[in-house]
Amino acid sequence: MNPHRRQSDADILRALVAATEALAAAAGKATLTLPVNGQHSWAVRQLLQQGYRVERLAVRMVLRDRGHGLPLENAVDCSRWAG
């Protein structure tokens, strides 16, 4: 095995999540929320395998004939306002 083997994406995600959990714990937080775009099913599967669960789910709604294929910088995100 090559000692300079590049880490896999799964290894990198696990390390990132572990560092985030440590930061949250150091700040005295009891829970950690990891927002994940549902289009990234690989990331969702990885987090489920690490013991996370889906608690809330959002669906992007657009007006007919508007929004399909629009870049995100041309959209207004109301999801944080709707609570």
Residues listed for the chain = 83
Instruction: Give the span between the Cα atoms of 17 and 47, in whole angstroms.
Output: 9
Q: Are 57 and 38 in contact (CB under 8 A)?
A: yes
Q: In the chain, what are the domain boundaries?
A: 1-62
- DSSP class of residue 72 equals G
Q: Are 50 and 17 in contact (CB under 8 A)?
A: yes
Could you read off the pLDDT tens digit of each residue along the chain, which spans 83 residues? Answer: 455 556 799 999 999 999 999 999 999 998 888 888 888 889 999 999 999 999 887 777 667 666 556 566 666 666 655 54
Model pLDDT, residue 53: 92
